[in-house]
């Protein structure tokens, strides 16, 4: 059983290696996000070479299982993954200094292997032989503990950025496709078990012999993660472009008396009369500019008096228009995709998602029900 598990985990990391080359060098899937996805996969495979996951211990007479015999890239792994997430969300520019400092530190640690190679080729020695395994163990332990802290921070940062992004889209953008990021959230959640096991492993290593079964558990979870991540990145090679920063953060205007029902009714009337919701790229900013109102006041009115966010509110009008088109299309001359485009939806998938969220059924099911009712 153990050999089968080793084989499957090894196969996952071998696949990860080939996928890393595709993401880094393929023109078809070329994007900054996918480049960092490829680097993340490559760093994960190199880190697996430093463990007992893969079945060889030497290259010639060079012992690969010694500390620092291979490049220690564990610090790169969380950095590359976080960069991948932030590039997908368009927020990497906010963390330039954080990445620069940690890239330099990770590079310096990985370059210790060059020292080991120099002593191996020119002095027939190694870092472990020169300083003793116990001293090297605690140096290596310190690096792993620091990497665990950085990984935990990157995990929490990625989670927060995804949740903030979703909040921004709901409050300021009408494109329903932009909310379809549960796959990215699932990627982050999939890392949680591996991070927890890693923390347990570090605690074990500090007080007792290191349990190798924990390594297999960690890399087993990472293998599942690699399969899921690879699939999702392939079906969504260019998910969406970077969004601008929130305009509500910079909107200092406010209403002393709050948002009255009258103001809300005026805003709704302007939306319906001018059919702004038919603009596929409608945002809170463009809508506020078109009706000469404060974005914050509009947002407050929608939240307080309609009990919705901007995305829900606008897509509610689009769903209503889609329902009208379906009801009036007695002979089914319009395709579902055509109905979506004429209702202001940017894609068939966004129509289906918003329609089902509002009515509880798909446009096709709604059309069938409407036909039977007549």
- The domain spans of the chain are 2-235, 249-373
Backbone angles phi, psi at 59, to 5 degrees: -120, 100
List, in sequence order, every beta strand (DSSP E) within the chain: 58-59, 62-63
Q: Which of 141, 247, 139 is nearest to 203 (CA)?
A: 141
Are the beta carbons of 158 and 40 closer than 8 angstroms?
A: no
Evaluate whether 218 touches 200 at the Cβ level (below 8 Å): no
Which H or E element spans position 36?
Answer: helix 32-49
Look at the pTM and tell me if it is higher than 0.95: no
pLDDT at 268: 94
Cβ-count burial 93-122 (b if 16+ within 10 Å, e if not): eebeeeeeebeeebeebbebbeebeebbee
Which of 8, 312, 79 has its CA nearest to residue 174?
312
Cα–Cα distance measured from residue 120 to residue 142, given in angstroms and rounded to the nearest whole number: 24
The pLDDT value given to residue 29: 62
Residue that has been written with the tokens 């889209």 in this structure: 169
* Cα–Cα distance measured from residue 308 to residue 316, given in angstroms and rounded to the nearest whole number: 10
Cα–Cα distance for residue pair 283/302, rounded to 1 Å:
14
Report pLDDT for 256.
43
126 contacts 170 by C-beta, under 8 angstroms: no
Are 82 and 37 in contact by the 8 Å Cβ rule? The answer is no
Q: Per-residue pLDDT for the chain (374 aa), expressed as one digit of tens each? A: 456 656 666 666 777 787 788 878 877 667 788 888 889 888 988 887 777 655 667 778 888 878 888 899 999 999 999 998 898 888 888 899 999 999 999 999 999 999 999 999 999 999 989 999 889 888 988 998 999 999 999 999 999 999 998 998 899 999 888 887 888 888 888 888 888 888 888 887 777 665 566 666 777 777 777 777 767 766 665 444 455 667 676 665 554 446 788 899 999 999 999 999 999 999 999 999 999 988 989 999 999 999 999 999 999 999 999 999 998 887 778 888 899 999 999 888 889 989 998 888 989 888 888 776 55
Are 43 and 77 in contact, with CB atoms under 8 Å apart?
yes
Task: Considering the domain delimited by 249-373, tell me its CATH architecture.
Answer: Orthogonal Bundle (1.10)
Q: What is the 3-state secondary structure (H, E, C) of 114-158?
A: HHHHHHHHHHCCCHHHHHCHHHHHHHHHHHHHHHHHHHHHHHHHH
DSSP tally for the chain: helices H, then strands E: 16, 2
> Which is it for strands 62-63 and 58-59: parallel, antiparallel or unpaired?
antiparallel
DSSP state of 70: S
CA–CA gap between residue 220 and residue 328 (Å, rounded): 55
Q: What is residue 242's DSSP assignment? A: P
Q: CATH code for 2-235?
A: 1.20.1070
Give the pLDDT confidence score for residue 239 in this predicted structure.
44
**Structure-token pair, residue 33:** 């996000």
pLDDT reported for residue 147: 93
Cβ neighbours of residue 160 closer than 8 Å, sequence gap 6 or more: none
């Amino acid at each position: 059983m153990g050999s089968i598990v080793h084989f499957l985990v090894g196969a996952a990391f071998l696949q990860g290696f080939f996928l890393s080359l595709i993401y880094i060098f393929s023109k078809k899937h070329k994007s900054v996000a996918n480049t960092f996805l490829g680097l993340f996969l490559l760093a994960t495979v190199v880190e697996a070479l430093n463990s007992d996951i893969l079945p060889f211990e030497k290259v010639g007479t060079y012992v690969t299982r010694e500390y620092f015999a291979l490049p220690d890239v564990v610090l790169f792994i969380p950095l590359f993954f976080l960069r991948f997430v932030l590039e997908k969300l368009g927020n990497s520019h906010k963390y330039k200094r954080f990445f620069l400092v940690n890239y330099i530190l990770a590079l310096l640690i990985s370059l210790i292997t060059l020292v080991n190679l120099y002593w191996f080729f020119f002095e027939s020695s190694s870092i472990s032989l020169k300083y003793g395994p116990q001293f090297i163990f605690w140096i290596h332990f310190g690096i792993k503990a620091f990497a665990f802290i950085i990984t935990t921070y990157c995990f929490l940062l990625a989670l927060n950025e995804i949740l903030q992004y979703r909040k921004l889209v709901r409050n300021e953008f009408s494109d329903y496709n932009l909310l379809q990021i549960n796959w990215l959230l699932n990627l982050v959640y999939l890392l949680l078990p591996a991070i927890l096991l890693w923390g347990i492993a570090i605690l074990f290593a500090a007080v007792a012999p290191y349990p190798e079964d924990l390594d297999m558990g960690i890399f087993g979870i990472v293998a599942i993660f690699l399969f899921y991540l690879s699939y999702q990145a392939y079906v969504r090679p260019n998910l969406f472009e970077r969004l601008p920063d929130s305009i509500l953060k910079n909107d200092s205007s406010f209403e002393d008396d709050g948002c009255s029902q009258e103001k809300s009714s005026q805003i709704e009337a302007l939306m319906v009369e001018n059919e702004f919701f038919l603009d596929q790229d409608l945002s809170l900013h463009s809508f506020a500019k078109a009706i000469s109102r404060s974005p914050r006041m509009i947002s407050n009115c929608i939240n307080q008096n309609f009990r919705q966010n901007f995305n829900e509110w606008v897509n509610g009008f689009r769903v209503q228009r889609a329902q009208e088109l379906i009801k009036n299309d007695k002979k089914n001359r319009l395709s579902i995709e055509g109905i979506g485009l004429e209702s202001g939806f940017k894609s068939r998938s966004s129509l289906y998602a918003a329609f089902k969220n509002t009515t509880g059924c798909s446009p096709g099911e709604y059309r069938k029900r409407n036909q039977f009712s007549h």
